[in-house]
Amino acid sequence: MLYPNRVFLGVGTGEALNEFAAGGGWGPYRERAERLAEAITLIRRLWTEDWVTFEGRYYRLDSAKLYDKPARPVPIYVAAGGPRSARLAGQYGDGWITDPFTLASRKDVAQTFEEGARAAGKDPTVMPRLVEPWVFVGGREEAQEMARLWLYHTIPNEVLDMHDPRQIQRYSEEHSAPEREMEQWVISTDPQVHLDAIKRLVDAGATHVFVHSAQRDQHRFIDFYGREVLPALQRL
């Protein structure tokens, strides 16, 4: 195995852009949340049982067998940015995936995650909490060019039900701006700025920080983090 004990499955209630393209349609939130909970239950059974017969509301299997089971069940982490999905993440997931703002500022979301975990007999204090900050190694003028490609990030709930990418692009250009997107990024050539941003997330409860590079020059990002940020982080 290439990455022992580091592989996980991330799941969520989806967005219309992806669901329509896959031919799965797009239902209301309640239906999507129920589908997700049922899918997690079914996946775990396929990973751990021999022959699986399953009669759910949305999924049905008759004597299904997964021949290449993982040596140990793969952790399932649930993405959630609001309280309803966070409760589902605590109840059905092995951990929680969220964004930096929600982790640091939405205590109500963290609370419902913990409530869902306790309701399922789990200890939320030992469950992983994954977060993905967006970073840019460079100046704001460089970052602004790339931020134009990600305007919908600032209005996720407004475009969630749109399945046409052209509509999403038009709406984002009318209702967002690069400066607004850049407010969510860590933009600097100073390694201390990047270190402080990661430390704030850890202090807010993150157990895993997955740094997302927002720039075209990925070599610059990789070299900078490998040479300047990660060694200093290890020393902390």
- Segment 170-198 mean pLDDT: 96
Residue 71 has pLDDT above 90, yes or no: no
pLDDT of res. 134: 97
Same domain, 235 and 157: yes
- Segment 44-55 mean pLDDT: 95
Rounded percentage of the chain residues whose pLDDT exceeds 90? 90
How many domains, in total, are found in the chain? 2
Same domain, 120 and 191: no
pLDDT tens digits for range 211-234: 999 999 999 999 999 999 999 998
- Segment 30-52 mean pLDDT: 96
Assign residue 108 the CATH number of its domain.
3.20.20.30
- Segment 132-154 mean pLDDT: 95
Same domain, 64 and 5: yes
Same domain, 116 and 218: no
Same domain, 39 and 89: yes
> What mean pLDDT value characterizes the chain?
94
Same domain, 161 and 87: no
Residue after which a domain boundary falls, among 86, 106, 131:
131
Same domain, 30 and 123: yes
pLDDT of res. 2: 67
Residue after which a domain boundary falls, among 104, 131, 158:
131
Provide the residue range defining the domain that includes 155: 132-236
Written as one string, the DSSP assignment of the chain is: --STTT--EEE-S--HHHHHHTT-----HHHHHHHHHHHHHHHHHHHH-SSEEEE-SS-EEEEE--SS--SSPPPEEEE-SSHHHHHHHHHH-SEEEE-HHHHHH-HHHHHHHHHHHHHTT--GGGS-EEE--EEESS-HHHHHHHHGGGGGGGSHHHHTT---HHHHHHHHHHH--HHHHHTTEEE-S-HHHHHHHHHHHHHTT-SEE--EE-SS-HHHHHHHIIIIIHHHHHH-
Same domain, 20 and 50: yes
Q: Regarding predicted confidence, which is higher, 3 or 13?
A: 13
Same domain, 163 and 217: yes
Residue 6 has pLDDT above 90, yes or no: no
Label residue 236 by pLDDT band (50, 70, 90).
confident
Residue 1 has pLDDT above 60, yes or no: no
Same domain, 107 and 173: no
pTM of the full predicted structure? 0.92
Same domain, 152 and 116: no
Residue after which a domain boundary falls, among 85, 107, 131:
131
pLDDT tens digits for range 156-167: 999 999 999 999
Same domain, 92 and 209: no
